[in-house]
Amino acid sequence: MGSLPPHDPTNSNTFRIYASFCPKKKAKFKQYLSCYDPTNNSWSHVGPIPGLLENHVLKGFALVSLGEFVYVIGGRLCRCDRQMEADVVIRPDVLRFDVRTGEWSTCAPVAVSRFDFACDACDGKIYVAGGQCDLASARGTAAAEVYDPLMDRWTPLPEMTTARYKCVGVTWQGRFHVVGGFAASAVERSSAEAYDVERRDWNLAPGMWQLDVPPNQIVATEGRLFSSGDCLQNWKGHIEEYDGKLKLWNIVERSHLPDLLSLVADGLPAQTLYLTVSSIGSQLYFLMGYQVLMGNDNLKMVSVAHMFDTAPLTGEGWRSFEPIEEEGDKELCCHSCVVQLS
């Protein structure tokens, strides 16, 4: 499907964070993939996501890494015209980006077209579950499936006990977890389900998510689960860690920060445009974009990375990197994923 300039990391065991963006001004734009390098605090423009029509944007898809590949899975394609969006179709398509060669390729499509679903890699495979399958209905699905990259094949899994969408997928304790989401009852919305690979069944975890609205992101790092917001408020002023024994989310010490903008905006009027978090080792990287109102009603677009070290004894807490001024503005189209380059 074409080739892009390859990434040439100079260090072994380095990490890159990938995310998809599109310009906020919907006029002859291309949705693209970007790469953040935490070693030198820089963004690089990887290139457009292939196969998308002009003036169309893909939303509600999953961006997940497996080895040195980034996968773009499913989602809903929207037509954009004069700041308006209209859903066109739900895509079953799966694209794969090779971070070494810069090449895109097509993979086998998902069996069930879906958007706003849970997805994560577990034991060398990619799991998806839940989501919406009908543009005309606000109902979720309980359908799940798994992708084997060696066979390039999706295999249906037993259905979850609950139909849910806008749920979050995360691999924890060796199992693929589907957390929260919109579902029929408050009890189901505050639950999670974990897929047992050996038994080929789902185990319900009541109370694992304790809000009536879906989580924004949940990330796993070094055997621990962290959250920092929900779908209504992507930053709640602190980071929380899940206690699996007590089934409680506890505030992480030293993580209190009422407003991430307070670290960088220098007192100027500012508005957050996007926020996504990824984990590298014990560190959580919060990638944020914001607009600053300058004189004469001029707006400046800025990207910035904040890092919080979750190590209980040696963690340094919050650290902010130098903000990067950008031309124009951009909209985050999916949450980020991390690729480790050996």
What's the token pair of residue 329?
Answer: 């503005």
Task: Indicate the pLDDT class of residue 19, thresholds 50, 70 and 90.
Answer: very high
Assess whether pLDDT exceeds 70 at residue 28: no
d(CA 15, CA 13): 7
Give the SS3 label for residue 297: helix
Averaged pLDDT, 300-311: 91
Q: What integer pLDDT is reported at residue 105 of this predicted model? A: 97
Classify residue 177: in a domain, yes or no.
Answer: yes
Q: Single out the residue of 66, 68, 58, 67 nearest to residue 20, CA to CA.
A: 58
Q: What integer pLDDT is reported at residue 170 of this predicted model? A: 97
Task: Indicate the pLDDT class of residue 212, thresholds 50, 70 and 90.
Answer: confident
Assess whether pLDDT exceeds 50 at residue 8: no
Classify residue 339: in a domain, yes or no.
Answer: no
Assess whether pLDDT exceeds 50 at residue 188: yes
Classify residue 56: in a domain, yes or no.
Answer: no
Q: How many domains does the chain have?
A: 1
CATH of the domain at 174: 2.120.10.80
Averaged pLDDT, 119-146: 95
Give the SS3 label for residue 327: coil
Q: Provide the domain limits for residue 143.
A: 110-215
pLDDT in tens, 62-82: 999 999 999 999 999 988 775
pLDDT in tens, 238-263: 999 999 999 999 999 999 988 887 66
